[in-house]
Amino acid sequence: MDSAPTEREMEILKVLWEIQEGSVRDVHELLEPESGLHFNTIQTQLRIMDDKGLVEHRREGRTFVYRPQCTREDVSSRFIKQVYDGAVNELMLNMLRSEKLSDKELQELESMIAEARLKKSKKRKKRS
């Protein structure tokens, strides 16, 4: 990934992460009702994203089939580094202070933290 995705590129990446790979038509069909973007706009955007290394394509006849070259984790990690200088705790505190998290989301965060602690604990035991 050469550079961070723009807001529009993120919309397209979300579709590709969902479907894993797809043609311009596939992406357009899923994105257009929500975004109103035209077919040619998505086609141009995918070409730009290909140049930037965000997606790659292969040919199926005359059709290009695109797939993401970065994961949600890649993008979120880059965001945390750029916006929060890698300070995950600051990001988490901002999320918690926003008061927009539901009980379910808070439970999911607690589960993720517990899982991360368990993985870290297992790694320490392997090194010992």
Question: Is residue 58 domain-shared with residue 11, that is, in the same domain?
Answer: yes
Whether 93 is in a domain gets the answer: no
Q: What confidence tens digit (pLDDT) does each residue in 84-124 have?
A: 676 677 777 777 777 777 888 888 878 888 888 888 888 77
pLDDT at 2: 57
pLDDT at 96: 75
Q: Which two tokens stand for residue 54?
A: 């965000």
* DSSP line for 114-128: HHHHHHHHHHHHHH-
Work out how many domains the chain is built from and give that number: 2
pLDDT at 81: 75
Domain end call among 22, 46, 68: 68
pLDDT at 97: 77
Segments forming the whole domain that contains residue 47: 7-68
Question: Can you give the pTM of this predicted structure?
Answer: 0.68
pLDDT at 57: 96
Beta strand pairing status for 22-23 and 63-68? antiparallel
Whether 82 is in a domain gets the answer: no
Q: What confidence tens digit (pLDDT) does each residue in 17-68 have?
A: 999 999 999 999 999 888 888 999 999 999 999 999 999 999 999 999 999 9
**CATH number for the domain that contains residue 58:** 1.10.10.10
Whether 90 is in a domain gets the answer: no
Question: Is residue 62 domain-shared with residue 16, that is, in the same domain?
Answer: yes
Q: How far apart, in Å, are the Cα atoms of 121 and each of 30, 78, 88, 89?
A: 42, 25, 19, 19
Residue whose entry in the numeric block shows the structure tokens 């070259």: 69
Whether 86 is in a domain gets the answer: no
